[in-house]
Amino acid sequence: MNRKNIQRVSMQSIADAVGVARSTVSFVLNGKEKEGRISEEVSLKVRTAAKKMNYQINEVARGLRTGYSNTIALVIADVSDVFFGTMAYHIQEYAESKGYALIIINTGEKQERLSSAFKTIINRQVDGVLMISVVNMEEGKIEQLNPGIPMVYVDRYFKTLTTSRVIINNYEVSKAATQQLVDKGCRNIALISFRETLMHILDRKRGFMDALSANNMLDETLICEADYRNYKEDVVDFLNKSMSRIDGLFIVTGGLSSIAIRYMVNMGIKLQSDVQVIGFGRIDVATGISIPYVRQPLEEICKKSFDILLNRIKSQDDEIVDCVIPASIVTDEL
């Protein structure tokens, strides 16, 4: 259908149908009938006519009047990843419940896409941005690209707190997970991580190292830091060289967990017997055995991030919020 042929129902059309002034329709449809001293009877007639005529609010026009588009942008690192895909789902559901539309911009972990991402954000006149940074991002670079639109970092963050963020207690939960491996009797505990500058990964590594150092058990040759572009090959290469020495393994992301556990299953290694494993995120590999993992409260993270951003938009307050939500170590029953 040609867009020019689409007829929009206007407030004036509703006013003509009901026999009232256009201002009366505006008061009712914007929920301000009390301010306009509109009777319940007239309000009901207006709403009934609007529904019957399939009236749709013109968000562009309302945005021009109010200065707000009621649109939020989610800049996501990799929408194909289960973790980030689930995050996008929760944010969209919650945004819609609050009357906001969500624009999802996928960077694919490519820094060069951030410039065009912010051009889209500016052109769409979004009210705020929920930002999941690209890997190995230079601190301050995103703030340089942002022309002053309210923004909150989600999950990934930088050492210096210059922008509001919602994160988990990465250091503490990683330290606790590593100590749990020690308590299970492991003495040669390995770490599989990424080579990264963002703090969520660095804090997980630091928690691991501090736990083992406190037990005089740290062996830095059992630390694998995979490159993001070749992480599958790096993980497999590390396990090929070191698996015979390892009796405990802490893995810092869901993607890395899947690769490492699939390798061990294929090699016939008995998980939680030959090697005790704790991963990050629920394991998506069929193992026939329950494997402990760090569970991140994703829905809570998403709602809190949106609430902080919305408060920033409405209050126009420059207060920086550092919200840390505790994660937990769980074992799902099969």
Q: Which of 175, 178, 174, 156 is nearest to 165 (CA)?
A: 156
pLDDT (average), residues 155-160 = 94
* DSSP code, position 209: H
Q: What is the pLDDT of residue 10?
A: 80
Among 110, 155, 105, residue whose Cα is nearest residue 126:
105
Angle, in degrees to the nearest 10, between helices 231-242 and 254-266? 50
Write down the pTM of the prediction. 0.81
What is the reported pLDDT for 30? 74
Per-residue confidence at 283, pLDDT binned at 50, 70, 90?
confident
What confidence tens digit (pLDDT) does each residue in 296-314 have?
999 999 999 999 999 999 8
Evaluate whether 308 touches 164 at the Cβ level (below 8 Å).
yes
Residue 255 has pLDDT above 70, yes or no: yes
291 neighbors 272 (Cβ within 8 angstroms):
yes
> How does residue 64 score in pLDDT terms, banded at 50, 70 and 90?
very low
Which residue ranges form the domains of the chain, and what is each CATH number? 3-57 (1.10.260.40), 69-168+299-327 (3.40.50.2300), 170-295 (3.40.50.2300)
3-state DSSP call for residue 287?
coil
Q: Which of 296, 292, 288 is nearest to 279 (CA)?
A: 292
Q: How confident is the model at residue 239 (pLDDT cuts 50, 70, 90)?
A: very high
pLDDT value of position 334: 54
Q: Which two tokens stand for residue 146?
A: 């942002």
Residue 61 predicted with pLDDT over 70:
no
Write the Ramachandran bin of 154: left for phi over 0, alpha for psi from -120 to 50, otherwise beta: beta
Percent of the chain scored above 70 by pLDDT?
A: 94
Structure confidence at residue 59 as a pLDDT band (50, 70, 90): low
Of the pLDDT bands very low, low, confident and very high (cuts 50, 70, 90), residue 2 is: very low
Total Cβ atoms within 10 A of residue 20: 18
User: What is the rounded average pLDDT of the residues 249-260?
Assistant: 94
- Residue that has been written with the tokens 């689409």 in this structure: 6
How far apart CA 286 and CA 269 sit, in angstroms, is 14
The reported pLDDT for the residue numbered 95 is 95
pLDDT of residue 57: 64
Phi, psi at 223, each rounded to 5°? -110, 120
Q: What is the pLDDT of residues 105-143, one digit of tens each?
A: 999 999 999 999 999 999 888 999 999 999 989 999 999
* d(C-alpha 126, C-alpha 104), whole Å: 11
**Mean pLDDT taken over the chain:** 90
58 pLDDT band, cuts 50/70/90, is: low
Over residues 161-180, mean pLDDT: 97
What residues pair up with 101 in beta bridges, in sequence order? 71
